[in-house]
Structure 1
Amino acid sequence: MDSALTSVGLPVALAVVMFGLGLSLTAADFARVAREPRAVAVALATQLVLLPAACFGLVLAVDLDPVLAVGMMLLAASPGGTTANLFRGDVALNITLTAVNSVIASVTLPLIVNFALDHFEPATEGALGLEFGKVAQVFALVLVPVVLGMLVRRWSAAFADRADRPVRIVSVVVLVVVIAGTIISELENTAAYLAAVGLVSVLFCAFSLAAGYLLPRLAKVGRRQAVASAFEVGVHNSTLAITVAISVLGSERLAVPAAVYAVVMFPLAAAAGFLLTRNRAPLD
């Protein structure tokens, strides 16, 4: 991949995406963790514990290439994407989950990825390892823009509201560019990667959406909150996963699963949204 996209484009892309999240956040959103502890706890447990375990079992079951297997585990360890709140549900809860999950993932992501690296031992040109110091740099690009966005909202809620839509549009454009750049960089292997990772990505996304909805419902969480959980769990921050893979680990192949997942997750999430809200009855 072009060095400019790696060294500048990816960090800027991630910062823009997370700044957009910050524009919609207030300090009161974090208090929702105490007001709705069951909904938050079930969603976070599904995201942080169940998904990595399910992804690990899935890549073992299909005997995925070690590098791509680590890439899938990196994706599974990434927090929910900011685009998750585009879908119908408790948007406020969704935003809270994304923010809290992004903070927690700064610790859990290195643990999960290093476990995957040790287990699968991918054959690469150099040794791979995810040091906490390097991850801290990436998550500074996650958390600092969020804080700046929150400060902008505190300074002027009206300005934040006006800027929210343009920033979201830019975020989507940036995401498309990042995905396209990742795929183009490995263009000669794209067909093989799609064959290897495509089905795994679809199965993992479908499982994530289903678990994100059904487990909260089993825990007697309201339907509207369960819908928010489904999209928080099923829609990952692919930009973060691609940035860690390329900018931190220095491997474009590791970024391929996140790029493929980003392509398949939106139609699957849209289909899930239609199924969950097709009767158009008010969500409780």
Structure 2
Amino acid sequence: MLLDVALPLSLAFIMFSLGYGLTFSDFGRVLSMPRAALTGVFLQIVAVPVVAYIALMIVDLPPALEFGVMILAFCPGGVTSNILTKIAGGTVALSITLTAVVSLLSVVTVPVLASWAASTFLGDAAIEVNVTSIGVSMFAITAAPALIGLLVRFVAPDFAQRTEGAVSGIAVVLFVIILVAALATNWDMFTANVGYLGPVLIGINLVLLIAGVLISRAVGLKGPDGICISIEMGVQNAALGITVAGLIAGQGGIPEFAVPAAVYGITMYIVTLPGILALKAIFGKT
């Protein structure tokens, strides 16, 4: 029971921290950089699930883990993607915009796509996904806290700037706790499948990083924009993936569907930063 309450509350605070670092002008950048923003949004919502789906057609995982991989793929970029973008020399303003916009859109896209994935990968054991209920729950624990954080920053910008570091620090700690709880709850499944699941997730991560840069270049975007889009594709909101898995299972606690998100929440940082720095060295800033 404690976990059922703590998990959504932790995600809500993480999303509050996301909104706490935003301003209304971040959403306006969609109009000022439409090609980059639309490319990033399209790749996150469409290309990431497609890459995950193709990977699952190639490898053989238990149905529950396949469903979990797809849930993860439907999630928006992670809350730390902005920091990684800055470190890698990407366009930070674009990263902030994509994280904000796709996170809000996910209230609609995640429940709908998860419903399709449940019937596709779980077969006769498919769980009925109540799209409306999941959407409302996601709004309550993702969009609403982010909007509250945004409003707090708008009303008290000086206070928000002074406390943003502390809020972000707490969010990181909660994120780590969520990952540990998800793995501990499903430890037997994790240890039994990590030899297969780990390489699959790392492979998906690498493909997304490379695809983000190459597609960005193909549509005429500059190097820093491509690096940003690449990171946004490769860094998923693992905490949201774990929470959505719990909402779908509806049985309390953290289900086995959450294992891929928990594992990816660790491997994505190990892969993404060196991967992006390598891409940056190869493609430069042109």
Please, what TM-score do these two structures have when normalized by structure 1?
0.92
1:50 maps to 2:47? yes
Alpha-carbon distance, 1:65 to partner:
1.2
In structure 1, give the amino acid aligned to 2:181. G
Aligned to 2:159: 159
What is the one-letter code of the residue matched to 1:270?
Answer: L
Shift in alpha-carbon separation, 1:15–1:71, aligned structure 2, 3 A: same
**1:268-279 alignment, distance < 5 Å:** 268-278=271-281
**Structure 1 runs not aligned, ≥5 long:** none
CA distance in 1, matches of 2:35, 2:168: 29
Larger mean CA deviation between 130-139 and 212-221 belongs to 130-139
Q: CA RMSD in A?
A: 1.8
Question: d(CA) in 1 for partners of 2:260 and 2:176?
Answer: 15
Give the structure 1 partner of residue 203 of structure 2.
Answer: 203
How far does residue 224 in structure 1 lie from its aligned partner after superposition?
A: 1.4
- Mapping of 1:112-261 within 5 angstroms? 112-121=113-122, 127-250=127-250, 252-261=255-264
- How much has 1:272 moved relative to structure 2? 2.1
Per-residue Cα deviation, 1:103-145 (whole angstroms, up to 9, x for no partner): 2122221222111111122575x83424222232122211111
1:92 counterpart residue number: 93
SS in structure 2 at match of 1:82: coil
Distance in 2, matches of 1:26 and 1:16, equals 17
Go from structure 1 to structure 2 and tell me whether the alpha carbon gap of 1:128 and 1:196 turns closer, same or farther (over 3 Å shift).
farther
Q: In structure 2, how many angstroms separate the alpha carbons of the residues matched to 1:231 and 1:4?
A: 34
Q: Give the share of equivalent positions with the same residue, in percent.
A: 33
> Are the counterparts in 2 of residues 79 and 105 from structure 1 also a CA contact under 8 Å?
yes
Runs of 4+ in 1 over 6 A off after TM superposition: none
User: Residues 52, 266 of structure 1: CA spacing in aligned structure 2 closer, same or farther, 3 A cutoff?
Assistant: same
Of 60, 74, 78, which residue of structure 1 is paired with 2:75? 78
Paired residue total: 278
The one-letter code matched in structure 2 to 1:221 is L
Give distance in 2, aligned partners of 1:266 and 1:32. 27
Write the distance in 2 (CA, Å) between the matches of 1:278 and 1:162: 35
- Any conservation in 2 of the 1:117–1:128 contact (CA below 8 Å)? yes
Give secondary structure in 2 for the equivalent of 1:121: helix
Q: For the residues of structure 2 that align with 1:258 and 1:143, how far apart are their CA atoms?
A: 20
Shift of 1:256: 0.3
| Partners of 2:209 and 2:234 within 8 A in 1 | yes
CA distance, structure 1, for counterparts of residue 52 and residue 280 of structure 2 = 27
Q: Within 5 Å, give how 1:57-68 maps onto structure 2.
A: 57-68=54-65
C-alpha change, 1:99 and 1:12, in structure 2 (3 Å) is same
- CA offsets per residue over residues 221-268 of structure 1, 9 Å max, x none? 121121111111110001111001013423610000000111100011
User: Which of the residues 28, 34, 52 maps onto 2:25?
Assistant: 28
- The aligned amino acid for 1:4 is L
CA distance in 2, matches of 1:33, 1:100: 9
Structure 2 length-normalised TM? 0.91
Deviation track 1:22-71 (CA, whole Å, cap 9, x = no partner) reads 11211111111111111011111111111111111111210221111110
Contact (CA 8 Å) 2:16, 2:145: kept in 1 or not?
A: yes
Question: Tell me, which stretches of 5 or more residues in structure 2 are unaligned?
Answer: none
Is 1:111 the equivalent of 2:109?
no
Q: Distance in 2 between matches of 1:174 and 1:9?
A: 10
Contact kept, 8 Å, 1:21 with 1:95, in 2: the verdict is no
Counterpart residue type for residue 132 of structure 1: T
